[in-house]
Homo-oligomer: A and B are copies of this chain.
Amino acid sequence: MLTAVNSSKKITLEEFLELPETKPESEYINNKIYQKTMPQGEHSAIQAYLSSAINQVGRPKQLVMAFPELRCTFNGRSIVPDVSVFAWQRIPRKPNGRIENRFEIAPDWVIEILSPDQSPNQLINKILFCLNNGTQLGWLIDPEDESVLIFQPNQQPEVRYDSDSLPILSLLTDWQLSVADLFGWLY
């Protein structure tokens, strides 16, 4: 669960960004620091397989790139989605072409994976914050329920199960993934 730490003392975003990184990562939301949960087996497996699958289809053609546990700092918050996917052209780069260390934009696609006992509203709030800042697609994966809650801007979300296909970024036109494919990685 994301737990508020140092909640008695308000700090600024700048002060937060100067603190050493923690493990698991900390996030800065509404002037408070929250530490993420330490991912367990299912969470970790989904995060790894999904990042890898997205990169396998997205990197060769320079379409998108998926980053697990990437710190994204924008519009006054500093969050670390489980997986952040960026369109290739939006990936911040240094003048020499290498990927920047600091990402100060919202991902195009944000993926969160629920852990047992984690507060879903806090995770959903993070996804909605992204949507309100330009993110086009959000997934909330619930391993317990073997379902994915799909968020798109200004739309009612929907829950997908079993053989339902999962909406992906429109850049990845050739790729299809069902909910069953996703949870198949756990077996």
Residues of A at the B interface (CB closer than 8 Å) are: 1, 30, 114, 116-117, 119-122, 124-125, 128, 131, 140, 142, 144-145, 147-149, 151, 153-159, 161
Contacts of A142 in B (CB 8 A): 119-122
For A140, give the chain B residue with the smallest CB separation. Answer: B121
Contacts of A30 in B (CB 8 A): 161
Contact between chains at B125 and A147 (CB < 8 Å)? yes
- Distance in angstroms from A46 CB to nearest chain B CB is 14
- Once the chains are docked, how many angstroms separate the CA of A70 from the CA of B145? 24
- Distance in angstroms from A137 CB to nearest chain B CB is 12
Contact between chains at A159 and B125 (CB < 8 Å)? yes
Contact between chains at A159 and B1 (CB < 8 Å)? no
Contact between chains at B156 and A154 (CB < 8 Å)? yes
Residue A116 contacts which of B117, B144, B158 (CB distance < 8 angstroms)?
A: B117
Contact between chains at B119 and A144 (CB < 8 Å)? yes
- Once the chains are docked, how many angstroms separate the CA of A161 from the CA of B125? 10
Contacts of A145 in B (CB 8 A): 119-122
